[in-house]
Structures are given as C-alpha cells and as structure tokens.
Amino acid sequence: MMNSDSEENVAKLRNPPSGLSGRFRRAGCSHLDQVHDVTPSAQGCEECLKIGDEWVHLRLCLTCGHVGCCDDSKNKHATRHFRTTGHPIIASLEPGEEWLWCYVDEVPI
C-alpha cells in the first residue's frame, strides 16, 4: 500500500516554495537546503524566558525552529544559537517583517 501522507511530505521537501529559492539565488546564498518547515519553539526567546530576562526583537531559526533574541537585545541569543549550532538562516518573527538573514554569507534574503 502507498502512504500518500509521507509522499506529500517528500514532495514538499524537494520543492521548497519557488519564491523562496529565487530569493536565496538573488542573495547569493546557498543555504536553502538548511531551511525547513519549522514551528517556533516558544512564544518568546527560549533562553531569556528561562532566565527571566527581556529582549527587543525575536528571530526564528529556520533549521530547527529555535526562537532567540536579536542583536539589539543584550543577550543576542539568536546569534549565539548560530555560533553554537551552525544553523545559518533566521527569519524575523516581528509582525509584518518578512526578511531572512544568512549568518554565513552575511546577506539579507
């Protein structure tokens, strides 16, 4: 018997949204294969919530779904997440902001 659910998932992974691959190509970033369909891991910066600290803006890791705070926040957990895991692509979690950022190529996407 064929399992149509898992077939759909494979097709999804092999064909990321066409708009997204164009954006990565134009940005000169080759890390689209690190981008997955992730669910944000928390309602706020994971680490700041743990230590009861505050953040300015939130960033979402598109490889694993980690939520961290931006470089304007004193803890800079999103950047720290990249340094410890090597996950290169983040998205802004701010309402209305659609940009992505590649830490490796240091380009907006």
Binding positions for Zn ion, rule: CB under 5 A: 29, 31, 45, 47-48, 55, 61, 63-64, 66, 69, 75, 77, 85, 87, 102, 104-105
- Judge contact between 58 and 68, C-beta under 8 A: yes
Q: Which two tokens stand for residue 97?
A: 């902001």
Residue 92: beta bridge partners?
Answer: 59
- Judge contact between 63 and 36, C-beta under 8 A: yes
Residue 104: beta bridge partners?
Answer: none
The residue among 55 and 91 lying less far from Zn ion, judged by its C-beta, is: 55
* Whole-number Å distance between alpha carbons of 41 and 32: 20
The residue among 8 and 17 lying less far from Zn ion, judged by its C-beta, is: 17
In whole angstroms, the minimum distance from the beta carbon of 18 to Zn ion comes to: 18
For residue 106, give the nearest of 28, 47, 52, 11 by alpha carbon: 28
In whole angstroms, the minimum distance from the beta carbon of 99 to Zn ion comes to: 14
In whole angstroms, the minimum distance from the beta carbon of 15 to Zn ion comes to: 20
In whole angstroms, the minimum distance from the beta carbon of 2 to Zn ion comes to: 33
The residue among 47 and 93 lying less far from Zn ion, judged by its C-beta, is: 47
The residue among 8 and 99 lying less far from Zn ion, judged by its C-beta, is: 99
